[in-house]
Amino acid sequence: HTSLARWADAIVVAPATAATISRLANGLAEDALSATVVAAACPVVVAPAMHTEMWEHPATTANIETLRRFGYRIVDPEAGSLAGGDEGIGRLADPDSIVAAVDEVLGGAGTLAGLTVLVNAGGTREPIDEVRYIGNRSSGKMGNALAVAAAAKGARVVLVTTVEAPKHPSIAVVAVETADEMAKAVWERAAGVDVAVLAAAVADFRPVGAASGKLRRADGPPPLELEATPDVLRGVAELPDRPFLVGFAAEVGQLAEAVSKAKQKGVDLLVANDVAKAGSGFGSDSNEVTLVFPDGSTEPWELLDKPAVASRLWDRIAELMRHGDGS
């Protein structure tokens, strides 16, 4: 199995049963398949297939999330006819979708070879006291997908994150929690990279002077005074020797605001996503984004899963850099 794992350029597990997914998520090398995958350093594509109830079981959901964190490319099952005459989610994805996923993990390899990129991910937490904080709904999935996709395309990646990070030999992880920590970590590293893609949801405001200990209900509602946090994106844009800079903007049906922000922030590209749309934005596995350029022009994309958005975005960034559209 080790020889086979070293030989392969990619491994495709299709169909992947709930049992196989569980073994891979827990590193259990109990048969030839799982032993080969666990030993592999190449990209792994997993195409689940099972009855709806098994696909939606909390254990399967958790195992799939674990595989995503490992950097495995998951090709979600489709709705359709299942074994035993049942209908529902769990049918093996169309072969073309599986082939496209393989092309994605292999076809773009080397696109970013020789580059060092910085990605940030997750939402910051701004303490109210030692127990409570002001936060947001960001899951970090988009940022993690960007880091994994960049590594797959040959880049050395620095990932500054507030959430659990994918494990990959080409991804160096810097863990932070607050906006101040995020700003410091990003600004210290941004001048030394070729590209910075800032996908984290950094809080705009924080409480002034977090209380020590825990605020008690019996004492009544405390006054909550807020102050602005550092503007991480603008800070990178103002560096004298800054990288090609891409920002993310979570909007609620306000593309005009994103166009304005692209001009104000001094970025080479802004990626806007409407988090109010079904299946897009915080916590979801997919995203519908619009690229916004400094001249105000836009490029809307269809709804895609986040790894596909990440892969396509890196290809677009590489194209822009080749054509000299960055700074």
Distance CA 175, CA 159 (A): 8
Report the DSSP pairing between strands 205-207 and 195-198. Answer: unpaired
Long-range contacts of 33-39 (CB under 8 A, 24+ apart): 35/1, 36/1, 36/4, 36/5, 36/11, 37/5, 37/11, 37/13, 39/1, 39/2, 39/5, 39/6
- List % helix, strand, coil for the chain (3-state, nearest 5): 35, 25, 40
Q: Tokens 């490029």 label which residue?
A: 299
- 9: number of Cβ within 10 Å: 10
Q: Nearest to residue 235, comparing CAs of 155, 179, 171? A: 179
Cβ atoms of 80 and 87 within 8 Å: the answer is: yes
| Cα-based distances in Å from 310 to 2, 103, 208, 227, 326 | 30, 14, 36, 33, 19
| Token pair recorded at residue 17 | 């049963």
Q: What is the dihedral of CA 250, 252, 256, 259, to 10 degrees?
A: 10
Q: What is the dihedral of CA 301, 302, 304, 310, to 10 degrees?
A: -10
Q: Is 215 helix (H, G, I), strand (E, B) or coil?
A: coil
Distance CA 222, CA 131 (A): 14
Give the sign of the dihedral formed by CA 212, CA 164, CA 246, CA 283: negative
Question: Could you say which of 26, 136, 273, 287 is catalytic?
Answer: 136
Q: Tokens 């705009």 label which residue?
A: 204
> Is 136 labeled as catalytic in the residue annotation?
yes
Indicate which residues carry an active-site annotation: 136
